[in-house]
Structure 1
Amino acid sequence: MHPCVEPFFDTATSTFTYVVHAGDGTSAAIIDSVLDYDPKSGRTSTQSADRVIAFVREHGLQVQWVLETHAHADHLSAAQYLKARVGGQIGIGEQIRTVQHAFKGVFNLGADVAEDGAQFDHLFADGEAFPIGALDARAIHVPGHTPADMAYQVGDAVFVGDTLFMPDVGSARCDFPGGDAHQLYRSVQKLLSLPADTRLFMCHDYPPASREPRCQTTVEEERRENVHLHEGISENEFVDMRLARDRTLSMPVLILPAVQVNIRAGDMPPPEANGVRYLKIPLNAL
């Protein structure tokens, strides 16, 4: 299968959202949606998600899935907004429970945030097959960046989440709660064992000044050229590099607002007595 893949790039967070389908009038999945958020004002907007909705409606697609590769730390998910307008089940890897447990303590969240993944419509197990209409899809557990990361394979296309980046950018950080550089190395090897012409679709791109953002590469290109994980790089070499690099990185701008929303499947905290919803910003916690 060679599914149709439509990318949408959010420049504010360097995030790619994808619509995967088999052609006009068919079933579709939306992967890694973005809810726009201004950290200076605390205001949300739906411009990014509305672009996706317009594409879905223009092409007569029936949204079957709204998929998350993981609970993102760099943008808020628009999953609930999309589900309310174009339908679909919200799905994520079953290890989201581990992430919920870790961050529920960070934010001192109440009973409205269960640690059983019940906020999502479906929790995928490693290797689980599922349909997108006539397309056959498979969930691949790829922990390392977080314990819950999933890649989704649809025919010859794999949506890798935050595991690999474009070859000249390398790999994802592993210093979030539950992250593990050894696991990430092994997860990437799982992806790079796929056929050489498999299309790999990135969740992010942080390009050098010499090129525009790109969303797609191949297994062959990553094996040959990835600056962190090309063929010949050992697990220990990668781990030493990754740990040293992570020590130089600052936290993502939106990690605190994003994670507490994304472990709720993109839902906001319940309103308080005055009707306003509030996000928590814990001091000195990360």
Structure 2
Amino acid sequence: AAADGGGVQPSGNSVGGGSANVPGPKRVETATFKEHENQEIDLTKDHLRIFLSNLDYSLSEDDIRANLPSLKIVNVTLIRSANGKSRGFGYAELENEFEVEKALAMDRISLNGRPLFISSVLRDKEKRQKFKYSDDVEPKKLFVKSLPSDTTKEELEQIFGAFGKLQDVRLVYHKSGKFKNIAYIEYQDESAAGKAVLGTDQMELRSHIITVAISAPPPKPASTAINANKALGISKKHNKAFEQKPRMSLIPTVVRKQLATAQDTNVTSAATSKATNGASLSKTNEDFRKLLLK
């Protein structure tokens, strides 16, 4: 692979021939890509690599080099699909660890109209999933919202630089490159951050009233899982398709009525027997008359 390339970049236009040979090049491209994808990687150089993501798909390795002139880049490798197109992320190897630190400080720099995400190379999945930024109160950092859409980094440096020496100014963008109208201002000491809050909170900036506060990211969700439906007050819906329907009785109606009458008679007899403690009831003259007339 070339020093500045992303390994082999297959192209369907490089193979000639008639229409009968069209399926052939496709199989070759796929095989070539897989060979490039499965090539061995020298993991001992991961400390000199950075991971680049949210790249414009039209950018090439040379474009990335040209747009990051301040970095001493050894090589750039874009991850590509089977058809050779960029998947929007890749790796860059730098000359030394100092260059890596310099690159990480450039995280979210605008590249071709999109914020470029720059991070360390972490092959451990658990480490990648950890929250990147602090979730504690950051007394030296301010969170600014409701900014005008045309706000620039230089403008914020001028406004907030009046209260003390700045460590960093970061405007936040969507992956599409659209400004979220929020920013983070970090000072070198806490007192300057406090003064800035008092001096800029509710300040009007081009008809926008901005809000400024000490950065306090929301806490991480509890590790114990909760029932989302219960928390939202949503009752569980039963799936009628799986509800058991009452079975149809196969006993004829006449027989069922006779059984029901017999059960009622037995219940009545038992109740009567219990009420008289087992003793027979005395019969009236009407009872005897009915017996004689049968």
TM-score normalised by structure 2 residue count: 0.23
Point out which structure has higher relative CO (alpha carbons under 8 A, 6+ apart). 1
The structure where helix makes up a greater share of residues is 2
TM-score normalised by structure 1 residue count: 0.23
